[in-house]
Structure 1
Amino acid sequence: MTKFEYSDFHKFIVSLGTGLVVLAFTIPWFFLRESFGILVEENEIQKFPEKVQTILDIKQETIVYLLKFIPIISGIFGVIGVVLIIYGFINWSRKQQIIDKKEKASLDKALSELRNITTIERLESIEQDIDNERNDESELESEDNHIAIDQSGQAQRPSYSQNMQHYFNIERLLNERLNTIYRDDYIIRSNQRLGNHEFDVIMLARNNNQTDKLIEIKYYKSKNSILGIRRVIERVQISQQRYNEQFNRDSHSIVIIIVPESTRNEIGEHRLSDIKNRYEIQIEFICEEELNCFNLTEII
């Protein structure tokens, strides 16, 4: 059965025309295949009461009368349907061309106003993330005296270079996989800046039926760092609002958090679900050990 489209007038006209064309073929088919209970032998009719015979006669005459007009009715429906389809499609196409031009202008504007983050800026950003993570850990762990102290009196933690290398490796891997999967549908730009706002990955939709994806990638090693995620969410929300206002494009933000399997198990699936449901922005947790084989199409 034809499903009518009411979201746009010209789409509705095309849908209506399609429905009439379908009816033009359906009505004759229905009358030709349906007996309407009038295929009764003459000698059988004589056995019925007179009133029943009268009803059958009227029914037969009515069906024969209608059959004379079926070709005319079907022809009218068919012609009107074709005219509506052509009219609606032409005007729909014109409107779509205008929409496509606006979308292309919006896409060109986004590509021209976004700029690549320099290596130094990226290093500073990662260093800030590492500092924030360590501060979150220190505030929570020091209360329970869980930090191991070495002979020099400093907390034993991975070096900056180790953490930075982890960040770079994870971002590189995700970018490669995103490009492999989505390059036909999106223009993918990594490490972009719009004013004071930074974006790890921006997926600019080539088709105006899709929304842009703004992806934030975080690598957390400890439970305490994840529980302090509010800072990241607030920054992502502000950046998305700025992006939408600047380019007049619909976007969807996704925060991808990479964690070691041991950390995920320590937090527990129930706690992770609570974190995901607490915020309006989509949050996804991926185990570091599963990163190479994780199906990104399940979350993007």
Structure 2
Amino acid sequence: MQGTVDGFSYGVVTPLVAFLMACLGGALGLRCTTRSLLVTHSWRPAWLALGSAAIGSGIWTMHFVAMMGFTIKQTPIHYDKPITYASLGLAIVMVGVGIFIVGYRGATGTALFTGGTITGLGVASMHYLGMAGMHFDGRLSYNTLTVAASVVIAVVAATAALWAAGRVRGFLWSVGASMVMGLAVSGMHYTGMAALDVHLHLHGTSGSATGGSPATVLAPMLIGPLAFLLLAGVVVMFDPLMVMGKPTRRDVEDKPGVPATAVASHQHHHPPLHSGRRPVRDPRHHGSRTPQNR
């Protein structure tokens, strides 16, 4: 028996809030990744780890906020907590692998392609593992081509986000990049949902669902990731260099891989201070005249 599904039972509320969650996680993750590229090696892993957790938590929260609006009219839906939390861990780990590759190898060439692919596969894997944790009186099936399209969207979105993390400077540019990332991740989610077919068992079905609603089941699971995103936001807000998007002189000089021209340019705007003595000029180069033969 074919199930009747409704992905927007709360109207535009759940898609809008899901998009904002994806933007928030993306913005925090991109800013942390950008900051990691401007500090010494000792602090870089901490910033990259924070960025990975922020992006992973953001896309996971986006997915399950959107799932609050998903219902099957003939049967209630329940979620397996171990599988649901495993999808969160998978998202953070795979996003982290991609971010660490770009953080240490740069957002260009093979490193960008590898990191973007791994991160995108992590986003897609989180989505479909989270769907596997959904239990009801029936089974799910997927259209292969639509699933493949959702994976491609995830990989392209992740690659673009990592490129932005390595290239984009300034708060407003990062906000714009995070909005593009949020739109792409949300698009991946709803493309994956469009590939879904619900097949119900003939026994035990009725015209109306019974039991707890998806919102009631999922709301307690979202508390932890939301609290983490709030904490990451506080860290970003209280780092003035991250907010302004400007590296310090020490950051520029200590950053591995920075070309000498960049350091020279930075030093040109911040010349070394002297002790206040006026430089001694060689009179031979300042208009000195030699006696003329008369």
Common fold: TM-score over 0.5:
no
Using CA pairs under 8 Å that are at least 6 residues apart, name the structure with larger relative contact order, 1 or 2.
2
Look at both structures and tell me which one has the larger radius of gyration over its CA atoms. Answer: 1
User: Greater strand percent: which structure?
Assistant: 1
The TM-score range, normalised by the shorter chain, is: under 0.3
